[in-house]
Amino acid sequence: MEGHKRPRVFVKFLAVFLFVTLILILYYNNIERTSSLSSTLFQHRPRPGRLKFLSTHVWSTNIPTNFTGKIVKERSGSDGNTRKHSVVKRKSFNYTFNYVETVNCKKMLKGNKPELDRAKSFLSNNYRNSISNTWYFVKTKNCDSFISERGYVTDSLTSEERDFPIAYSILMFKDVEQFERLLRAIYRPQNYYCIHVDAKAAEDVYNAVRGIVGCLDNVFMTRKYVDVQWGTFSVLEPELICMKMLFKYKNWKYFINLTGQEFPLKTNYELVKILETYNGANDMEGTVRRANKARWSIVGVSPPHNIRPVKGSVHIVVNRDFVDYVLNNKTAIDFLEWVKNVDVPDETYFSSLNHNPHLGIPGSYKGIPETTKDKKPFLARFKNWGREPFDWPCKGKRVRLICIFGVGDLPLLSRRKEMFANKFYLNFEPFALDCLEELHHNKTRDEYLGLVKFNTSYYQGLDFIKNKV
């Protein structure tokens, strides 16, 4: 009898073992399946401090877009970029609530000192590795998987956004992850994006960016790579290259130029509402009073066409007609030749065109060309230079005067009226970028669900809207 019991015990043990094994397999397969559905905004594996997703719900819509999602194995686009295939096969938006692990972003955005201190303490004892360029190169071999995992919004979301396409340029030279997070935040299928990678960039940066661009039909890389050097025409040249590439797409309304170290303070819906309120007005910094006029006098001759030089930022928000003027008008072309000989041409060219109303450029400013915090604010970009009119306390660190934003700057950033913030370092207090990303995603979700409305009354009263050409 004893000999018969042992096989029975063994059989029971084996059955229990197989049952438990099956349960574990099903459990982990379910986790993996759920994870693959989630649009992970930061990376391909969990890491402290990144967004964590709750259960995923994917919304599909029948709103038409310009992109049919037709599968093509490989083709060469008119911009010279090879497209592996279009990923816009199903227009969707992941509207889960996203939050950063390890810290409480809501508290930090409200300026909660204990939470801010806790975040800084955590960062001082933990180092975060960025996503490697090789990962992007490999992952973008399967575009559908890449777009899904990284959480790109592949639908216009609203008819208002669909009918108001925006054209962007992005200049970058390093930190592919940071660039890609910026692109993902502003990406919509109705918009257009021109990417310029600096000629000095490493080969693996080029390869990673090419992979990302190859997965998105409305994102392009420039054929020419400029070695960008501060204070020279090379800073302005990539912007003009991108303007020319983007202008052949006929339906976009406004052009916004960015760099890879910036991040949006407004959602795409909010940007559209603001730009609709602008009603063709251009948004640029301008000053004569604060300008270093020696930069202009070195040319030795006066500017052509009675143009008064005005200093301003290279960062601009301009209507399509302004871009047309820059590319095709003889006055703009003549002035560009003069500007090439000044010091820091990028701080003279766009701003001067916008603040000489006798040129008749649509959307340009008829008032006194002096940016202020109240009457004529510069809303294309929030930059903290530590001097008027761009002077605020910097809770991060200053590098060559400009504030590199840290977690302590989050309360200020969350209240700003500007469209984008400059600048962030990927590995300096990264919770700052993480929390802005959380805020941006969740605002997009709430706007789609109709939970929040955007008030444009501040923008309606701006002087550069009332006094535009």
Q: What is the set of active-site residues? A: 347
Strand ranges in 218-351 using DSSP code E only, listed in sequence order: 219-221, 254-259, 262-264, 317-319
CB neighbour list of residue 343: distance below 8 Å, 6 or more residues apart = 231, 292, 294, 295, 298
Cα torsion angle, 227, 229, 232, 237, sign: positive
Q: How far apart are CA 304 and CA 326, in angstroms?
A: 15
Query: Which two three-digit tokens encode residue 349?
Result: 């060219």
Query: Which two three-digit tokens encode residue 161?
Result: 């956004």
Please confirm whether the linkage preceding 375 is cis (ω < 30° from 0).
no
Q: Residue 225: helix, strand or coil by DSSP?
A: coil
Which long-range contacts does 409-417 make (Cβ < 8 Å, 24+ apart)? Answer: 409/384, 410/105, 410/108, 410/109, 410/111, 410/116, 410/435, 410/436, 411/108, 411/109, 411/110, 411/111, 413/265, 413/382, 414/109, 414/439, 416/265, 416/382, 417/377, 417/379, 417/458, 417/459
